Amino acid sequence: MPRTSASSDWDDDPRTIRSRRRSPWDDGEPRHRRTPSLAEEPDGPPEGSRWSTWDDIGIPHGPEPHPDWVITALGAIDYELGVLKTGKEADVHLVERSVPGTDIGTLMAAKRYRTSEHRMFHRDSGYMEGRRVRRSRETRAMANRTSFGREVLAGQWAVAEFNVLSMMWQAGAPVPYPVQLDGTEILLEFIGDPDGTAAPRLAQFRGSDAELHDLWNQCVDVMCLLAAAGYAHGDLSAYNLLVHNGRLVVIDVPQALDIVANPRGTEFLRRDAENVCRWFSSHGVAADAADLTVRLLDEARMLQAPHP
Residue 30 forms part of a structural domain: no
- Please list, residue by residue across 136-156, b when 16 or more beta carbons sit within 10 angstroms of its beta carbon and e when fewer do: eebbebbeeeeeebbbbbbbb
* pLDDT value of position 156: 80
Q: Would you state the pLDDT for residue 302? A: 87
Task: Examine the domain organization and report whether 180 and 265 are in the same domain.
Answer: no
Q: Is residue 292 part of a domain?
A: yes
Same domain assignment for residues 56 and 99: yes
- Give the pLDDT confidence score for residue 148 in this predicted structure: 47
Asked whether residue 212 falls in the same domain as residue 155, the answer is: no
- Check whether residue 177 and residue 276 sit in a common domain: no
Q: What is the pLDDT of residue 87?
A: 84
Evaluate the CA torsion angle 205, 218, 282, 127 in order and state its sign.
Answer: negative
Res 214: pLDDT: 98
Q: What is the CATH number of the domain that holds 247?
A: 1.10.510.10
Give the pLDDT of residue 146: 47
Is the same domain home to 122 and 246? no
- 160 shares a domain with 258: no
Query: Count of domains in the chain?
Result: 2
Predicted pLDDT at 89: 84
The pLDDT assigned to 153 comes to 59
Are residues 181 and 258 located together in one domain of the fold? no
What is the predicted pLDDT for the residue at 46? 82
Domain that holds residue 216: 202-299
Answer yes or no: is 171 within a domain: yes
Same domain, 109 and 164: yes
Among 189, 210, 243, give the residue marking a domain's end. Answer: 189
CATH number at residue 154: 3.30.200.20
> How much is the pLDDT for 277?
98
Q: Chunk the chain into consecutive blocks of 10 residues (it has 308) and report each block's average pLDDT, rounded to whole numbers.
A: 43 36 38 41 73 92 97 95 89 96 96 66 48 46 46 72 95 96 95 96 94 98 96 95 97 92 94 98 97 96 64
pLDDT of residue 252: 94
Residue 23, C-beta contacts closer than 8 angstroms, at least 6 positions apart: 16, 84, 85, 197, 198
Domain membership flag for residue 71: yes
Among residues 135, 164, 138, the alpha carbon closest in space to that of 152 is found at 138
In this structure, the answer to whether residues 102 and 62 fall within a common structural domain is yes
Q: What is the pTM of this model?
A: 0.78
**210 within some domain:** yes
**Does residue 216 fall inside a structural domain?**
yes
* Residues whose CB is less than 8 angstroms from the CB of residue 217 and which lie 6 or more positions away in sequence, other chains included: none
pLDDT at residue 141, rounded to an integer: 40
> Is residue 197 domain-resident?
no
pLDDT at 170: 96
